[in-house]
Amino acid sequence: MKQLFAVIGMNVRSIPQRAGMSIATITSVAFMVAVLLGFLAMANGFEKTINGSGSDDVAVFLRGGSQAEVNSVLAREDARLIEVAPGIATDESGDPIMSAELYVIVDGTKRSSQTEANLPLRGVQQQAVNLRQNFALTGGRMFEPGTAELVVGEGVIREFEGFDLGQTIRLGSNTWTIVGTFSTGGSVFDSEVWADLGVVQNLYQRGSSVQSLRARLTSPDAIEDVRAYVEGEDRLNLDVTSEREYFADSAGGIATLLKFVGWPLSIVMAIGAFAGAWNTMYSSVDSRTREIATLRTIGFSGFTAFMGTLIESLVLALLGGALAILVIYILFNGNSASTLGGGFTQIVFSFEVTLGSVISGLVLALSVGFLGGIIPGIRAARVPLLAVHQN
């Protein structure tokens, strides 16, 4: 054991003598881990935004077969029929907690690229704020019904220009005043702009039609009662889903795609880093052939030479992995980005470096270190004793 530590110590202390090669290995592992963590941080951040969006006790009503809000059209009468459905919760004054909603896709200018991108301008009714968990005004006030006033989600302010509190903004041929900002705790709704439903219908020629209805359920199980009611009512051709299901269906694909791209990419890069690590360890053994042979002649075992080399390799890989985690965490964690989501509008999300992805990164780094060190290690164990005479 003592000889093992002595040899490992000699190996590790000799790293600076091959500074160039060692740094090359560390950086190659670091780049590989950084690519993996970057993609996982995007995927996890996006997933977190989507998962935080839907609740089990909110039902979403859409036109039958329309799949997404953007495709759906509902008539005013639909709302009246649903109001009386069983299982819909009411507030203190006995009114059902529901909101008929309609969003128009409008152009916003992305800060990062200065190009126009789709933003949902959602017309909502008063109860809308009670239908989103964690809704809170973070600045200004709520819009006055009947006026061209907007409240803007925090994500929109981060990613888009011209939506700051107090500003006016032209969306199509209409001018709006921004009177408030809100947060829903990082959910999809933070990527939206809200206004009064009637005003949106009016200014964008939507008559009295809406796209969706959201209603609070008395309990998550009540959705079955609502569904039975809708199916039994001939005048309604609607699909009913819980809000959680709705989001899970509509946007899970992107996170999966990011992971499916991130993993193969970093594994391919791992092959390159592995070749680099192997090469470095091979040079390490090469340059210390005489030293190893001398130790073996004195009586150190081949196994210690093997372990010394393997651990040197693992140390280099670990340094690279740790470097990548540090850099990605400092540079990316919490960074904002946006992409086109299921509703054909931008979803703003934050990069999220999770413990799970950090562990994945370290495992990948150590695998590269292990595989890269093993064959040079065997070579070290087999250095012929006669190499003591080598010059």
Partner 1 sequence: MNEATLIRKGLFRKVLRAILMMVSISIAFFIFGVLGAVNKAFNAGVDVAAANRLVIVNAINFTVSMPYAYFGRVQGVDGITHVTHANWFGGYYQQPANFVQTFAVEPETYLDVYPELILPPEQREAWINTRTCLIVGQALATQYGWSLGDRIPLNSNIWQQADGSSDWDFDICGIFTAEDSSVPTNYAMFHYEYFNESLAFARDTIGWMILTTEDVSLNDQVADEIDAMFANSPAETETTTEAAFSQAFVEQLGNINLILTSVIGAAFATILMIVGTTLVLAINERTKEIAVLKTLGFQSGRIFRMILTESFLLSLIGGAIGLGLATALVMAAAEGFQAFLPGFRMPLSVVWQAFALMIAFALVTGFFPAFNAMRIRIVEAFGKL
What is the x/- site pattern for partner 1, positions 319-358, by CB under 8 A?
------------------xxxx---x-x------------
Q: Which two tokens stand for residue 212?
A: 């969706």
Which alpha helices (H) appear in the chain, and where do they start and end?
A: 2-13, 19-51, 76-83, 154-159, 197-203, 223-232, 243-287, 289-298, 302-332, 355-381
- Which span sits near partner 1 by CB under 8 A: 1-9, 191-199, 238-246, 269-277? 269-277
Per CB under 8 A, the list member of 83, 129, 139, 204 interacting with partner 1 is: 204
> Among 129, 227, 128, 141, which Cα is nearest to 180's?
141
What is the x/- site pattern for partner 1, positions 85-114, by CB under 8 A?
-------------------xxxx--x-xx-
Smallest distance from partner 1 to CB 128, Å: 22
What is the x/- site pattern for partner 1, positions 25-44, by CB under 8 A?
x-xx--xx-xx--x------
Smallest distance from partner 1 to CB 172, Å: 3
- Which span sits near partner 1 by CB under 8 A: 83-91, 145-153, 160-168, 261-269? 261-269
Alpha carbon 260 to its chain centroid, in Å, reads: 13
The answer to the question of residue 315 lying near partner 1 (CB under 8 A) is no
Q: How far apart are CA 323 and CA 301, in angstroms?
A: 33
Q: How far apart are CA 215 and CA 95, in angstroms?
A: 11
> Among 50, 9, 7, which Cα is nearest to 253's?
50
Per CB under 8 A, the list member of 5, 9, 17, 65 interacting with partner 1 is: 65
Q: How far apart are CA 376 and CA 306, in angstroms?
A: 8
Q: Which two tokens stand for residue 204?
A: 């964008």
* 175 bridge partner residues: 170
The answer to the question of residue 136 lying near partner 1 (CB under 8 A) is no
> HEC string of 48-116?
HHHHCCCCCCEEEEEECCCCCHHHCCECHHHHHHHHCCCCECECCCCCECEEEEEEEEEEEEECCCCCE
* Residue 207 or 299 with smaller CB distance to partner 1: 207
DSSP output for 208-243: T-BSEEEEEBSSGGGHHHHHHHHHH-TT--EEEEEH
> Three-class SS of residue 38?
helix
The answer to the question of residue 51 lying near partner 1 (CB under 8 A) is no
C-alpha pair distances (Å), 368 with each of 40, 314, 363: 19, 8, 9
Smallest distance from partner 1 to CB 146, Å: 19
Q: How far apart are CA 144 and CA 15, in angstroms?
A: 68
Number of residues that bind partner 1 (CB under 8 A): 54
Q: Which two tokens stand for residue 262?
A: 């991130």
Smallest distance from partner 1 to CB 345, Å: 9
Per CB under 8 A, the list member of 102, 236, 269, 314 interacting with partner 1 is: 269
Q: How far apart are CA 220 and CA 212, in angstroms?
A: 19
- Which span sits near partner 1 by CB under 8 A: 76-84, 124-132, 169-177, 186-194? 169-177
Smallest distance from partner 1 to CB 227, Å: 19
* Residue 296 or 379 with smaller CB distance to partner 1: 379
C-alpha pair distances (Å), 351 with each of 182, 264, 282, 332, 374: 20, 20, 38, 6, 36
The answer to the question of residue 138 lying near partner 1 (CB under 8 A) is no
User: Are 121 and 259 in contact, with CB atoms under 8 Å apart?
Assistant: no
The answer to the question of residue 212 lying near partner 1 (CB under 8 A) is no
- Which span sits near partner 1 by CB under 8 A: 1-9, 65-73, 76-84, 302-310? 65-73
Per CB under 8 A, the list member of 37, 102, 171, 251 interacting with partner 1 is: 171
Q: Which two tokens stand for residue 380?
A: 């070290």
The answer to the question of residue 271 lying near partner 1 (CB under 8 A) is yes
Smallest distance from partner 1 to CB 107, Å: 5
The answer to the question of residue 377 lying near partner 1 (CB under 8 A) is no
Q: How far apart are CA 259 and CA 42, in angstroms?
A: 9
* Residue 104 or 131 with smaller CB distance to partner 1: 104
Residues near partner 1 (CB under 8 A) are 20-21, 23-25, 27-28, 31-32, 34-35, 38, 65-68, 70-71, 73, 104-107, 110, 112-113, 115-118, 171-173, 204-205, 265, 268-269, 271-273, 275-276, 278-279, 282-283, 337-340, 344, 346, 391
